[in-house]
Structure 1
Amino acid sequence: IYTRVSSTGQEGNSSLTTQEEACRRWSHERDLPVVSVAREVWSGTDRHRPELDALLNDLVPGDVVLVYALDRLSRSQVDTAILIDRIEAAGASLALVTEDFEKSATGVFLRNAKAFAAELEREKIAERTARGKRARVESGKPLVGKKPPYGYRWRDDRDEHGKPVKLRLELDAATAPVVRRIVDMALAGQSLRRIGKALEADAIPSPDGNSRWNVTTIRRILLSPTVSGTVIAWREIHERKPNGAKGYRERPARDDERMLLPGIAPAIATPEEQAAVRVQLDINAARAIRNNPHPEATLLRGGFARCGHCGRAMKVNNAGSGRPGSPPRYYCDGPDCARPTISANLIDSPVWESIATVLQDPSIIEREVDRHRADGGLDRDLAAIERQLVTVAEKQTRTARAIAAVADDDAAAPLLAELPKLAERKKALRREREDLTRRVADREVERVRVRSLAAWCQHVSANLPTLTYADRRNALEAFGVQVRVWRPDATDENGAPRDRWSGTMQPIGGDAIVFSSTRRMTGASSSPAAFSPSRNRRRR
């Protein structure tokens, strides 16, 4: 006997039991002994199911596989034919309590017709389900899964009849602090594995209740839009595989397929923090030692050296040009990119010389800050933010008027989705304006930061000749070093030749300090300018 339901909810309403009882009565009426009963909670769209496969593997000639109805065996016409063929190949036969299919041409036709009807009903169920989900989302209600997102719980909302409904999320007192801790550790540069180990050491169970934390689970939590207060319906789309292939596939939804649901969940992290986490995860992946068998052979690996054409982090070829003893090379393999390459010998040492110059003479940083203020850089930045705020406000007004003028709800949906994005953009600009206003008003704070950084530089410069590879990498991090590499024949937007590479350091914010293959850093003993042309250096 084989019995099946699709969900645990059906399992709880005695459906499996009633199927088995009907099958036992059928067997008793025909004096057939029952030798085994397989009970399964599994979708009828899957051909391979644990209990069904075990039953079919144990068949011997003369056995009868008894099922309550054909759709309990499968809802797929093709799968039904394959399963019946598998039963008959073992010398057994299929019997149904509710139908009597003969082993004749008519019986074969009826079996296939019945299977087709079951598959058609499944398609109708899927269509009705999808239509119901879309209607729920369009009414402003979130799609509900088996469990709320980690860090949240469903609020105790009630409908007009007093029945509990899942409409809004609220922070879960037990798990929301864990999510905040994960975000803070990621912002501090901790790897996903190190975050998982820390949670395991504190005996914090994973969302599945396990003692071990999977890096995929941690990444999903960090990048979930819900964590930043944005609930999105249909982030992924499930659709049939193309070219007639069996089954379904999952793909990221397009912008026009996603639907934003504002006000559903409180934020645990800000959108800016989540964006910073995403950047940090990319940096961690690029700088992971496991991705480079010789990590100390190149100083700028892992995101410090980037392609000037496409912006991707440059990779390292430790074999260099392929000749024995040739130095490693940085290269970009991005699609639709000019794909520049450069020998590590031509870039690592000059970049470090510039960093060492600042370490030995940190007054360069202070001169750069004074120059930035003398140029009115902060004031210009603040004015630019004000202009952007005006632009966003005008877009909000135009969008609201457009929504009011549209009578079709479907046509208005993209406009409605645009309003939360504009509101988030305005919030971000206001936060940036507050930060710039504070910096303009409190310039002494930044001078203290400069003096603090200068003291750190003085401490490090005392041990400059003995700095380890890790120490030098830490200095690159502290100075915010970024180096862009171009092809030798690259030109700028005005047609002028570009430097082979150009670098920036931005240790305290504001304008970046620039250096390049043709411009080197100079110390206090040089001219007041922070840069001077490098003599006798060919572009290579």
Structure 2
Amino acid sequence: MIAIVYCRVSTEDQARHGYSLIDQLDVCKRKAQSLGATDIIECVDEGISGSILERPGLTRARDLIRQGHIDLFVCYDPDRLARNLSHQLIVTEEIERAGVRLEFINFDWKDTPEGKLFYSLRGAIAEYEKEKIRERSMRGKRRKALEGKVTHMPGVYGYRYKDSSLEIIPEEAAIVRQIYTWCATEDMGPKSIAARLNDFGIPSPKGSIWQKATVKRILHNRTYIGELILQRWDHRGGKANKFRPPEERVKIKFYPKEHWVTVQVPAIISKDLWNAVQERMERARQLKPGRAIENYLLSGLLRCGICGATMHGFRGTIRQKHRIYYVCTARNPGIPGRPKCVQPYVLRDFLERQVWSRVVLWVQNPDELCAALEEQLRKDSESIDQSELVMIESELNSVTKERSRLVDIFQRGLVPISEIEERLEALKTRENRLLERKSQINSRLAVIRQAPTPQDIRDALREVRASLDNLDFEGRKHLVRMLVDQIVVTPGEITIRARVPIKFLE
């Protein structure tokens, strides 16, 4: 007689009832042997919810039953077979249709109308019990979060989970601070930051190379200012998606914002640095070219001086005449939840003439731009974080220690020379990159200590001045974005804030 022994356990079941796989297998095999089985096939699902039908172990058992030659199917309990009543009935019907005998350890299965009714009732109770367990678990986690405790390891780089709280990992926290500093002070985006981290040989959170998306998530994560958001995602049913066919997978959704819970954790960066990075990322998003019917020289640079919203181009018709404006987004089309702004429409040509004349003035008379540059350099000297130099020195020390360790291993004869040479070469490459970056920072610090003169700016803009009259639209747009950080528009006043690119420091 050939028998299938099917066992399943999930983490919660094992903790609550002691349904260990070893115990289940042992008692089920003894049951099969007592019924005359001489050949026993074990089908096991470990850590998989009983609410899923397409489990690897169960699928294998069902396939073997369809192929024939199976005489007996033994399972510990009906709720090990499935937690969903409809799934229980599907599998039971397949077993019976194939002429296979079905036996449970904790349930007396009878192929009678009464027996099937009792079996169905027990399956419905098991399904109800699972939902109650899930409800209690979710309620307990929410209560814990409302008490200011961390309910699980959120997987945030720079932290480790300990005693219902998060603890900072100093080495990773230093990398996080450097990522934010590079973005805020060097105007670097996620892609450039990822490339620099890879050049330094610093492993990513998963131990491989850094990706743009990974850096972007770090730059937008409020946990780093001490605000961990819990109860944000509705994961119900989603943990088992990898075992479901695509058409049955559960979509992970956001809970409404009022359901979210913010838990205070140790901060890695200051709120000032966080705000500076968010402003930089928002500016980059606004400046990203989009699809437009008309050409707008100031796209992405305009702010409403009344409500603070962005302003965008708008093509309207008044008295059967087409006119092109810049309009506050809070006025047209409007921002949900905010009152309509009263900022008047501003003619595109008028506003662009005002801004362009200021840019031309800066290019032809750099004294005002020099004053802006001096202010920028003063802020740079305050914002350049010495922590990157400290981090580089720490990494250089690690390289030295690792080199000494490899030499020691080789002297003991534990590793062949070919492997040692390969690892020493990798260390040398990493050391050279760190030294190169250290030199760049020191050079930048040296330049900052010597404020550029008006003549320095004239030299930098000489080529621009020579071709100023011949610039096409894209050339003028590039120049405006290079020298203008933001334009604030209020009725009767236009404030143009200069932007001094880091390129002037190089």
CA contact under 8 A between 1:5 and 1:15: conserved in structure 2? yes
Counterpart position of 2:231: 234
Task: Kindly report which structure 2 residues correspond to 1:80-95, keeping only aligned pairs within 5 A, or say none.
Answer: 80-85=88-93, 94-95=102-103
Runs of 5+ unmatched residues, structure 2: 239-247, 373-447, 501-506
Counterpart position of 1:507: 498
Task: Kindly report which structure 2 residues correspond to 1:475-486, keeping only aligned pairs within 5 A, or say none.
Answer: 475-482=480-487
Counterpart position of 1:152: 159
Matched, 1:204 2:202: yes
One-letter code aligned to 1:274: W
Task: Kindly report which structure 2 residues correspond to 1:65-464, keeping only aligned pairs within 5 A, or say none.
Answer: 65-85=73-93, 94-145=102-153, 149-154=156-161, 166-187=163-184, 188-209=186-207, 211-238=208-235, 249-255=252-258, 257-261=260-264, 264-265=265-266, 267-288=267-288, 299-301=297-299, 303-305=300-302, 311-312=309-310, 314=312, 351-362=355-366, 459=462, 460-464=464-468
Question: Residue 227 of structure 1: SS of its match in structure 2?
Answer: helix
Counterpart position of 1:15: 20
Q: In the aligned structure 1, how far is the partner of 2:324 from the partner of 2:99?
A: 66
CA contact under 8 A between 2:370 and 2:452: conserved in structure 1? no
CA contact under 8 A between 2:311 and 2:326: conserved in structure 1? no
One-letter code aligned to 1:190: M
Matched, 1:45 2:51: yes
Indicate the percent of aligned positions where both proteins have the same amino acid: 25
CA gap 1:51/1:307 in 2 versus in 1, 3 angstroms:
farther
Q: In the aligned structure 2, how far is the partner of 1:96 from the partner of 1:461?
A: 89
CA gap 1:203/1:104 in 2 versus in 1, 3 angstroms:
farther
CA contact under 8 A between 1:307 and 1:313: conserved in structure 2? yes
CA gap 1:342/1:507 in 2 versus in 1, 3 angstroms:
closer
CA contact under 8 A between 1:183 and 1:277: conserved in structure 2? yes
Number of paired residues?
Answer: 390
CA contact under 8 A between 1:61 and 1:92: conserved in structure 2? no
Query: How high is the TM-score relative to the length of structure 1?
Result: 0.57
CA contact under 8 A between 2:6 and 2:58: conserved in structure 1? yes
Deviations 1:277-334 (A, max 9, x none): 2333333344446x56x99965444x225689993564899xx99xxxx999999785
Higher relative contact order (CA 8 A, sep 6+): 2
Matched, 1:56 2:67: no
Deviations 1:245-300 (A, max 9, x none): 99685324534652433xx31x22112322332333333344446x56x9996544
CA contact under 8 A between 2:83 and 2:123: conserved in structure 1? yes
Q: In the aligned structure 1, how far is the partner of 2:175 from the partner of 2:479?
A: 29
Q: In the aligned structure 1, how far is the partner of 2:60 from the partner of 2:198?
A: 37
CA contact under 8 A between 1:2 and 1:66: conserved in structure 2? yes
Q: In the aligned structure 1, how far is the partner of 2:98 from the partner of 2:325?
A: 62
CA gap 1:454/1:199 in 2 versus in 1, 3 angstroms:
closer
Shift of 1:238: 5.0
Q: In the aligned structure 2, how far is the partner of 1:189 from the partner of 1:87?
A: 65
CA gap 1:218/1:367 in 2 versus in 1, 3 angstroms:
closer
CA gap 1:85/1:276 in 2 versus in 1, 3 angstroms:
farther
Question: Residue 208 of structure 1: SS of its match in structure 2?
Answer: coil
One-letter code aligned to 1:150: Y
Runs of 5+ unmatched residues, structure 1: 155-164, 369-444, 485-491, 493-497, 510-540
Q: In the aligned structure 2, how far is the partner of 1:247 from the partner of 1:102?
A: 35
Q: Which has the higher helix share?
A: 2
Q: In the aligned structure 1, how far is the partner of 2:57 from the partner of 2:203?
A: 31
One-letter code aligned to 1:254: K
CA gap 1:100/1:167 in 2 versus in 1, 3 angstroms:
closer
Q: In the aligned structure 1, how far is the partner of 2:348 from the partner of 2:64?
A: 64
CA gap 1:106/1:312 in 2 versus in 1, 3 angstroms:
farther
Question: Residue 206 of structure 1: SS of its match in structure 2?
Answer: coil
Counterpart position of 2:8: 4
CA contact under 8 A between 2:313 and 2:326: conserved in structure 1? yes
CA gap 1:283/1:31 in 2 versus in 1, 3 angstroms:
farther
Counterpart position of 2:415: none
Question: Residue 27 of structure 2: SS of its match in structure 1?
Answer: helix
Q: In the aligned structure 1, how far is the partner of 2:259 from the partner of 2:75?
A: 45
CA gap 1:149/1:366 in 2 versus in 1, 3 angstroms:
closer
CA gap 1:92/1:276 in 2 versus in 1, 3 angstroms:
farther
CA contact under 8 A between 1:236 and 1:253: conserved in structure 2? no
One-letter code aligned to 1:179: V
One-letter code aligned to 2:122: K
Counterpart position of 1:417: none
CA contact under 8 A between 2:43 and 2:58: conserved in structure 1? no
Query: How high is the TM-score relative to the length of structure 2?
Result: 0.60
Question: Residue 34 of structure 1: SS of its match in structure 2?
Answer: strand
Which moves more between the two structures, 464-473 or 218-227?
464-473
Question: Residue 193 of structure 1: SS of its match in structure 2?
Answer: helix
Deviations 1:211-244 (A, max 9, x none): 2444443333222222112334434455699xxx
Question: Residue 39 of structure 1: SS of its match in structure 2?
Answer: strand
Q: In the aligned structure 2, how far is the partner of 1:215 from the partner of 1:10?
A: 40
CA contact under 8 A between 1:239 and 1:250: conserved in structure 2? no
Shift of 1:151: 0.6
CA gap 1:231/1:42 in 2 versus in 1, 3 angstroms:
same
One-letter code aligned to 2:364: Q
Question: Residue 141 of structure 2: SS of its match in structure 1?
Answer: helix
One-letter code aligned to 1:39: D
Which moves more between the two structures, 17-26 or 183-192?
183-192
Shift of 1:27: 1.8
